[in-house]
Amino acid sequence: MQMEPQQDILKESVALLRQQLLLTTDCLKKIKDLKEALKHNNSGAGVTPVVQALEPALKEFSLLQKKQGGLLQQTKMPQLADLIKGQPDSVERDVALRLLDKAAKQSEKLRAEIAGSEILLQHSKKFIDFHVNLMSGVAASTTYGPGSAAYGEARERKMFEADI
């Protein structure tokens, strides 16, 4: 009788890991698309549809994390790997361990892609800030450094003046 709950836990773990692999693969593809859009599209118009396509996958990923958290809370285990490794040897346990390894590798790839996207987003923000300052005629001198004696005095016009 005691084997049945353990088998159910392993089956649920395998199902969650398979879903995680599918979602991670989907997110990887969409984040790569986002990186390409950020690299090649300065106007921003091509970025919006890519982000909108990514949002449902990220929402599903969040729901999956909650399911995994519920399973871990139910079994009082800190991590899914600990839960799986604590089960008796079986075919399901071996499958779960292989899926766990694949999921860990995919998650690492996803982290790397997200880090690359963050760098591109920072560059895009700097690009936008530069053009906003250029169009408004703002000089990027001592205005951005409060330690200067002439702080705020280097501009002929203030960025948010009412008469601009």
Q: What is the pLDDT of residues 52-70, one digit of tens each?
A: 898 999 899 899 999 999 9
Query: What's the structural domain count of the chain?
Result: 1
Q: What pLDDT does 1 receive?
A: 35
Residue type, 163: D
How far apart are the C-alpha atoms of 155 and 140, rounded to whole Å? Answer: 9
Mean pLDDT across 148-164: 54
Q: What is the dihedral of CA 93, 95, 98, 102, to 10 degrees?
A: -120
**SS3 assignment for 74-90:** HHCCCCHHHHHHCCCCC
Q: What pLDDT does 22 receive?
A: 94
Quick check: is 124 in a domain? yes
The answer to which of 28-32, 83-87, 132-136 has the lowest mean pLDDT is: 132-136
Q: What is the DSSP string of 101-129?
A: HHHHHHHHHHHHHHHHHHHHHHHHHHHHH
Instruction: Give the pLDDT confidence of 100-124 residue by residue, as tens digits.
Output: 999 999 999 999 988 888 888 887 7
- Cα 7-27-115 angle, rounded to 5 deg: 115
Quick check: is 47 in a domain? yes
Quick check: is 84 in a domain? yes
Token pair recorded at residue 26: 């989907």
Quick check: is 99 in a domain? yes
How far apart are the C-alpha atoms of 58 and 56, rounded to whole Å? Answer: 5
- What angle do the packed helices 91-136 and 3-40 form, to 10 degrees? 30
CB neighbour list of residue 42: distance below 8 Å, 6 or more residues apart: 127
Quick check: is 143 in a domain? no
- Does residue 128 have a pLDDT over 80? no
Quick check: is 22 in a domain? yes
Domain span at 38: 3-138
